[in-house]
């Protein structure tokens, strides 16, 4: 029998790319490809790219250069595919700029990978005549992408992403997503439920529903009615085995009353919400075409907090959007002070070709952007540190995900996505453990298991492990 062909996929950017990489891997597993974690011994390398900011877009070219050099040095030929949002945005340009590329494939065509690869193979090193597939096909790729095998699910661990909605119709003036991922499309609810049930059968306990505008979800249910995100979350929370549900990324405009109430009503819905605001200035929010003002954002935060008092927020910010004055930036700082975020992502505005903001006058000088991002990040870091410090002494459920760095250690996630290190048996991976947080550092928390599913199922082991780290220290 011939050796199986080896596949290496590297994802840049957002969680949807992580999910897409898995679906590409599942598709190619059916063609006999096995995953490798080294690009150097792969027969096929897929770079799953991100176009959101200029820096992200450029990364692919440095990676392609590195691959080409490694291939030349080793005197070997690999097939190289560029997928993701740079593929969609730049298409054939990529072939011109990087002659080692055999295939450029946009995010809506991943189900066609086997035939595209076969076609590229038939051309057999006939570079630079690579293949470009960036159409938005009429068929739904999800109807053709094969599901993961049980073994693949188990390998990926107890948490999983599931795309439920893709694309965006909001057209924020800085953003490429409506062009790279296309118009908003929601997957039908029964198909998502099937996928989640399958994941749960394979041992998944936590699903994060993902979409560029996930709370605009409006998929058809089994009766042909349109279901919203709340109905979807409710249905998923009922799937046997699923203990936790999250959703990301949301738009403030789509946080309706029902979804806010869901945070009170559905215990499996984790008390952590990523809600990008981008700016605290109404003038800038209008120029960004965000379709909401700071008052609406603050009102949503207050209403979600009233529904679920232990909720924590994270957000995205852009500094240096065209025309942003010192006063506008001060409004952003003031909004951050007001809300108090548990964690956040902040970026310097990056001008993207083809977006309305790229053509706006009054681009902010780089030095000013740098000054503002430092000030904002310092404030956000302080807020994160304060949030983490307030977790000391608290008890919450940790979903144990994997072994830690040292023998006997396990790593799990808190409801707020903090990494938590505990001591316990390997068999506890995939279970919820009740943990009392003992120490807090910048990267993670550590604590002691006080109870939880594994120990309830194995009472004989309870005394051996509960509070063991305390005993070890004594």
Among 29, 95, 177, 399, binds ligand SF4 (CB under 6 A): 177
| Minimum CB distance to ligand 5AD, residue 322 (Å) | 11
| Minimum CB distance to ligand SF4, residue 247 (Å) | 14
The answer to whether the CB of 409 falls within 8 A of the CB of 426 is no
Using CA atoms of 311, 312, 316, 322 in order, give the dihedral in degrees to the nearest 10: 90
Window 43-72: residues binding ligand 5AD (CB under 6 A): 52-53
The option from ligand 5AD, ligand SF4, none interacting with 171 (CB < 5 to 8 A, set by class) reads ligand SF4
- Of the pair 359, 393, the CB lying nearest ligand SF4 is at 359
- Of the pair 82, 175, the CB lying nearest ligand 5AD is at 175
**Residue 381 tokens, joined:** 């870091």
Window 387-426: residues binding ligand 5AD (CB under 6 A): none
Question: Residues 278-307 vs ligand SF4: string with x where CB under 6 A?
Answer: ------------------------------
The answer to whether the CB of 149 falls within 8 A of the CB of 29 is yes
Q: Which stretch binds ligand 5AD (CB under 6 A): 202-210, 213-221, 348-356, 370-378?
A: 348-356
Q: How far apart are CA 300 and CA 283, in angstroms?
A: 19
Q: Pick left, alpha or beta for residue 320 (phi over 0 → left; psi -120 to 50 → alpha; otherwise beta).
A: left
Among 247, 329, 347, 465, binds ligand 5AD (CB under 6 A): 347
Q: How far apart are CA 285 and CA 172, in angstroms?
A: 9
Give the helix/strand (H/E) hosting 264: helix 257-265
* Beta-bridge partner residues of 273: 313
- Of the pair 170, 218, the CB lying nearest ligand SF4 is at 170
Q: Which stretch binds ligand SF4 (CB under 6 A): 66-74, 123-131, 171-179, 377-385?
A: 171-179
Sign of CA dihedral 442, 19, 172, 227: negative
Among 55, 171, 382, 392, binds ligand SF4 (CB under 6 A): 171
Nearest to 23 by CA among 109, 133, 82: 109
> Was 391 annotated as part of a binding site?
no
- Burial class of residue 407 (count of CB atoms within 10 Å of its CB; 0-12, 13-18, 19+): exposed
Window 207-266: residues binding ligand SF4 (CB under 6 A): 212-213, 251
**Residue 291 tokens, joined:** 């379709």
Task: Give the residue ranges of DSSP H helices in 40-139.
Answer: 54-74, 84-90, 92-97, 113-123
The option from ligand 5AD, ligand SF4, none interacting with 168 (CB < 5 to 8 A, set by class) reads ligand SF4
Question: Residues 167-206 vs ligand 5AD: string with x where CB under 6 A?
Answer: -------xx-------------------------------
- List, in sequence order, every beta strand (DSSP E) within 177-239: 185-186, 206-210, 218-220, 226-228
| Minimum CB distance to ligand SF4, residue 290 (Å) | 7
Q: Please give the residue ranges that form the binding site for ligand 5AD (CB under 6 A).
A: 52-53, 174-175, 276, 278, 316, 318, 347, 349-350, 352
Binding site members for [4Fe-4S] cluster: 14, 50, 85, 168, 172, 175
């Amino acid at each position: 029998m011939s050796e199986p062909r080896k596949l290496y996929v590297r994802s840049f950017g957002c969680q949807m790319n992580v999910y897409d990489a898995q679906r590409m891997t599942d598709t190619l597993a059916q063609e006999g490809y096995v995953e490798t974690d080294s690009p150097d011994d792969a027969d096929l390398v897929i770079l799953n790219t991100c176009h959101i900011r200029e820096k992200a877009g450029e990364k692919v070219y440095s990676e392609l250069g590195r691959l080409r050099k490694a291939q030349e040095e080793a005197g070997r030929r690999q097939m190289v595919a560029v997928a993701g949002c740079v593929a969609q945005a730049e298409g054939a340009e990529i072939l011109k700029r990087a002659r080692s590329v055999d295939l450029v494939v946009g995010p809506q065509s991943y189900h066609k990978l086997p035939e595209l690869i076969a076609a590229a193979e038939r051309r057999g090193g006939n570079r630079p005549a690579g293949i470009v597939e960036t159409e938005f096909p009429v068929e739904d790729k999800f109807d053709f992408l094969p599901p993961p095998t049980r073994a693949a699910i188990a390998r990926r661990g107890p948490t999983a992403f599931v795309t439920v909605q893709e694309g965006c119709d909001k057209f924020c003036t800085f953003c490429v997503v409506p062009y790279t991922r296309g118009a908003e499309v929601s997957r039908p609810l029964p198909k998502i439920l099937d996928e989640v049930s399958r994941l749960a059968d394979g041992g998944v306990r936590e699903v994060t529903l993902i979409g560029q505008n996930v709370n605009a979800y409006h998929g058809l249910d089994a009766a042909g009615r349109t279901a919203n995100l709340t109905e979807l979350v409710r249905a998923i929370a009922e799937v046997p085995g699923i203990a936790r549900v999250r959703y990301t990324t949301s738009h403030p405009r789509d946080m309706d009353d029902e979804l806010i109430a869901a945070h009170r009503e559905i215990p499996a819905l984790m008390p952590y919400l990523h809600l990008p605001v981008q700016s605290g200035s109404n003038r800038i929010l209008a120029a960004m075409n965000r379709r909401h003002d700071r008052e609406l954002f603050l009102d949503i935060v207050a209403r979600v907090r009233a529904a679920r008092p232990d909720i924590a927020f994270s957000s995205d910010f852009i500094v240096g959007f065209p025309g942003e004055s010192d006063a506008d930036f001060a409004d952003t700082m003031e909004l951050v002070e007001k809300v108090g975020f548990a964690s956040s992502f902040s970026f310097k505005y990056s001008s993207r070709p083809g977006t309305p903001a790229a053509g706006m006058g009054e681009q902010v000088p780089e030095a000013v952007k740098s000054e503002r991002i430092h000030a904002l990040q310092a404030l956000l870091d302080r807020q994160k540190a304060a949030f983490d410090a307030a977790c000391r002494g608290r008890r919450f459920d940790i979903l144990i995900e994997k072994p830690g760095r040292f023998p006997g250690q396990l790593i799990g996630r808190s409801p707020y996505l903090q990494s938590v290190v505990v001591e316990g048996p390997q068999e506890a991976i995939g279970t919820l453990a009740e943990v009392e947080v003992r120490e807090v550092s910048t990267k993670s928390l550590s604590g002691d298991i006080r109870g939880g599913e594994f120990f309830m199922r194995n009472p004989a082991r309870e005394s051996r492990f509960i509070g063991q780290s305390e005993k070890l220290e004594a």
